[in-house]
Structure 1
Amino acid sequence: MERGYKDKYNNIFDKNDKDINVLGVISIIKVITIFLICLGVLKNIVEKMELSSKTFLYGMSQIYSIMLPLFFLIGYILWKYILIYMYKLKMSKGIDIAADVIYIVIVTVLILVTNSYESQYKFLYMFNIISATIRFGKNYGLTIAWVTSIIISLIDLFFRRDLTINIYFQNDLIMGAGFVLIAWILGEYVKSENKQREELKEELRRETKKHHYFEEILLNNEACYDLLIENSQEAIFIHNEERVLYANEHALKLFRVKSLSDLNTTQLNHEENKLILIYSERYSEIYSKIHNNKLSQVSFEDKFLDKDGNELIFLSTSALCSYEKKQAILTITRDITPKREVQKLRKDVENNIRLLEEMREYNKYITEFFSNVSHELKTPLNIISSSTQLLKSYYKKDISEIEFKKIKYIDSIYNNCNRLTRLINNLLDITKFDSGFITLQKSNRDIIGDVENIVMSIIPYAESKGIEVTFDTDLEVRIMAFDQDKVERIILNLISNALKFTNRGGNIFVSIMNTENHVLISVKDTGTGIPEDKKDLIFERFMQVDKTLRRNHEGTGIGLSIVKSFVELHGGKIEVISEINKGSEFIITLPFSIIDIDEDDLVNDKISNNIVEKVSLELSDI
């Protein structure tokens, strides 16, 4: 900034050099004027010598007259030389005033020597007036103008008193007025110029002071800038076409090296197997982009392999700079590998969400399909089941061998209708559960009595299979809130599975244990058991321990999945304990709670009207 102002105002405000130059020009002009006067004096003396007698004394006086102008001329030249030298030494202003006085005296004496009062000689005073006004302003110029005007008037008055009408005096008055007018006009101009110059000098002083202030701040804070660069969280390094010249601490950490020399020798491979940012191709590319496209900086991404072979993605910004008085490239680099990984993960999440939404949509269609198919199948099955029950009631009146076979076929039709109905009910429950439409219809009931009724209804069928069923409880009555239908299906499903996998002569134990906050229901059998690696799979939909077509027991593999769903709807949990060839035990834990309702069915010792039908449905595939 200071340099710009110096370029603009150097010729105006470099005071010492400018004043010396002006003084030199004025001195040359004054010497020339004195020289011209001397020529005029010599010419006048020569003319008088030709017209006058050639006496010795007169000749000597003329010689002295000739030497006098030459003495003045040489003396004035020496005086000016001394004056300029003293001015360079910054001498006082009085020397300039003395120089002007001497000039006036010399010009006046030379004019008197010529004994001529013609105006062209008197105009030579004008140079002194102009130079004085330019140098010191209007007041000093007017003073010189008045002094010279008085001098030329006095010359006319004293040396031409013989004239009746002194025409020279009148002309000199006009000339003096002209001197004063010129000094005043030129003084006003110089005053205006000086004022403008002072304003510009003041502006320059302010700007220079500001520049020095900022320069001082920059110099004082150089250590701070070094500290900021060294401790910056960005990787900052300076390099040329051959090697890295400087790297801050974060740059070394970013590239996993300990020193600058390691950075220059470590093979951090570029995509094209080049050293990191030091090959001429990269330097030329950056240089070309900045200069050809007139860019202040360029940004680019690069992929590198660190010493461990991990891929790193860097975002770099480069600009030309000067380092140790040589052209180099300043590069600021950030590791955006985590950012890109986050972006990639975000895209993966978005894709997964989109796929999940699509799967939900597909599941919705599948659920709707199963729901529609289940309803469509259930209607004709209900008609077939009702018809078989009606036929059985007719044939029981008169049983013959033929009729007995008919009843056997009707029972087979009825049992298979129940199997299909059970399957359809399970599919409907799955559909409702997935859709969030299945809810609990809780009521305050005796859970021990309800479980006992279910077990008692199973005993006749179990005895026909040669299996003994035992029920046990530590309390006779436990009133709590639960969904009777869901609990019945849970118990029936577990007992049905126990009957399937327990051979003749085996045992099934159903027991209830009570705690302060929970009710535990256990269904234990002495059947074939469950392999250890299958325990976590039996509660998954459509999963079966034996999936072969030659399996001994029928089933779809969704019963236990529904059991688990119903238990979790009650806020409970189910767990299994099993050992191959020793049997299995399913333990259900239900939380104890009471709800506020107007009428509670506290104890129900009678079997509900539809319990027999539910048992038939659950045991239809055995």
Structure 2
Amino acid sequence: MKKEIYKNIIKNSKIAYLIINFKKKYNSKDINVEVIEQNKEFEKIFKILSENNILNKDITKLIISNWINKNFKDNSFSDFIEEIKDKGQKRLKYTSDVNGKKVLIDIYYLDKYFILIFNMDYDLDNNEKNLRVYNWAKDLNGVYLDLNEDYVDILNKGDIIGKKDEDIWSESEFKKFKECEEEVLATRNVKTFFQSIKNENNQKVYLESTIWPLKDKDNNIIGIRGSSIEVNDRLAFEKTLEQNEENFREITKYCDSVFIIRDENRATYVSPSFKKVFEVEPNELYKNINKLDNYFKQVEYSDNNISYNMKFDESNEGTGKIKLDSGNEKWIWYKFLPIRDYKGNITKRVGILTDVTKDKILEEEKNKFRLDFLANVSHELRTPVNLISSTIQLIKLNLKNLPQEDENKMFKYIDLMETNSLRLIRLINNLIDSTKIDAGFMGFTPINADIIRFVEDVCDSVIQYANFNKMNLIFDTDKEEEVVLFDPDIIERILLNLLSNAVKFNKIDGTIYVNLYTEGDEIIITIKDEGIGIPKEKLSCIFDRFEQVQSKNKIEKQGSGIGLYLVKTLVTIHEGKIKVESDLGKGSKFTVTIPKKVLENGEEYVFDKKENMYRRVNIEFSDV
């Protein structure tokens, strides 16, 4: 009878069960472990112990086999099994090798099988003596057929077999049991509930009970099976938690931030400030917490908007823009943390949401002020620098009237002045362009033109700088002509910046390779040097604003750190992408990819070499 009773314990019971059998291998002292059944609660406990998200019967078998091999030698395990068979029950303490967490295991022998009942041991010293598990079985008339010794001890009513609840309990105690048993028989489902009884010392004991129908081999219900565990500590924990929640609610009444306590599906508490921040009552959140997600999800994508992607069992923090039912938009900082019960299971989450719209507006105003300041300063600097540059040109024209020796001496100083004025113009241009990009005012005017000829012309215009620095520059392409849609000003800025860096950081007698080729619907331009290279830790941030690669031998040639930031931004404006590869001490390779497009019905533009390109080259290479 015991065997049939216990075999009817079903997998979704709220108490952690494992049914196993031990068999000696033929002509061997080894024990073979057979896992017959394990329920979901058992899997939850051992996932905590093993920190492994997968737990099937094979893994359970492996865990038990390893435990046996570690703790028993020779025939000691056989003696251990015989002891359980004789006494009918034994309690063990198991400590995880992974994280040191502990579990209590009650082992019962059931004719041919062993049933193991597991409970997490959070305070082993206190709980070991007090934790009890009560098991029983009744027929359809409520007559007890079987129960374990712990159940007999707590009742202290003598022989219970053959009696009913009304023979043992007071009406107030057995009424709840009877109602739940009737529900289980009617629905044929499992039922878990809480109930208090008085023990042998007339003290109130709180039980968490799980009951389910017993069935015969023809699937007919023949009775009720049940198990209970004492949950006095748990109720005390929950009572304390409830008191803490009440205190929490009282405090949050007076906060401007929104506080939310929620379970997996709905809010259980929302502080009064929700109405002020979200401009509606929180009634919908008490029905469906996903309404909170929707405030974040219905905002159109923005680079500054952090996606509100929350997992119930993880901490979650960020800042995102919400769109209210009224159509208003606000910036919200949020943080959610899990709340664990006395077993360590996550049951709720507490969150705080703060309206940071004013802070965001203030930050944007500060950024705008900074950009306006940089723009004004840049323009104020450009005017006198342009005047200085023009004056230098006039002076150079009039130097021809001086004697040759004086003319050469003056040209030396004038060239120095001109070089440094060009460096200032380059810096100012970069600052102005950077400001334009941040403000969204950078122009993009693509035309149909031969990009191969254009890139070759740019390379030709910088060869003199490469040769002057004792370097070679080689341009190569897989086609003679390729008419595509591109913005010549943007492509020129990109190429000149990358080429000036290649010359600046290349080695003496090194070669700079410029290659252009097509691949599918893309135009690919590579610029490779044989110079000092870029450290690996700098590769991920080389395109950040004001980022520089330090070099002991190139201090005098370091720029402002704006150039490559501008390059990447200009490539992005051109709907392209850029990447860098580098070996320290061997050189760097920049690869620019832009779409291969043609403007339909657009005329092809033919370039002529102009003085403007050479002036822009002089400006870009002013610090080389």
TM-score, with length taken from structure 1: 0.49
Q: Which has the larger radius of gyration?
A: 1
TM-score, with length taken from structure 2: 0.49
Counting strand residues as a fraction of each chain, which structure ranks higher?
2
